[in-house]
Amino acid sequence: MTVHAVTIWGEPVLHRRAAEVTEFNDELRALIEDMHETNDAANGVGLAAPQIGVGLRIFVYKYKNDDGVPPRGVVVNPRLTLTKVPGTAPDPEEDEEGCLSFPGESYPLKRADWAHVEGFDGDGKPVDFIATGWFARVMQHEYDHLDGKLYIDKLVDRYARKAKKAAKKNGWGVPGLTWMPGVDPDPFGH
């Protein structure tokens, strides 16, 4: 297993729709193991393949939940069905989100409280579960990566301006920037 560098906002693979996985083979299973290893080293709750430079519709997660879903898993070619996202303003304390590809920064974002997740595991077997609360947030966050969106693309204006300033200050928004989990300092201080 290999820990991969995490791409930072501005890397083209993060900003385009990822391709469907068409073959379930040893190469795919090795990629999934590498993604779990990278997510663990980064102290993440989830990691999408584009975040390690691979434009495929795969994400892994590690999140203890109350939904009866194993706390560690993978979803290949996921489909999400969501409840409506509340129209209220995001709560700066309750709705704060971060992203390994926008390292060290956190901003509030409203998400649906419920998600029906369907897809496949690394062997091509169906995956089908309901995620609620923060687990639903994790699912939505990772799924967005597969459509070329980061959570900062969905922020309300006030927080979008702050994210833009942070990106400028850090020199992000250009290709080729990464950070290495387990080598570079943890951007979220875990």
Cα angle 38, 160, 178; round to 5: 25
Q: Do you know the residue count of the chain?
A: 190
Residue 78 CA to residue 66 CA, distance in Å, equals 21
Across 14-104, the runs of DSSP E, i.e. the strands, are 46-48, 58-62, 72-82, 96-98
Matching residue, tokens 């906002």: 9
Active-site residue set: 142
Distance CA 151, CA 62 (A): 18
CA-CA distances (angstroms) from residue 152 to 93, 144, 149, 155, 160? 16, 11, 8, 5, 6
**Alpha carbon distance 40, 19 (integer Å):** 24
190 carries a ligand binding annotation: no
What residues form the annotated binding site?
99, 141, 145
What residues form the annotated binding site for Fe cation?
99, 141, 145
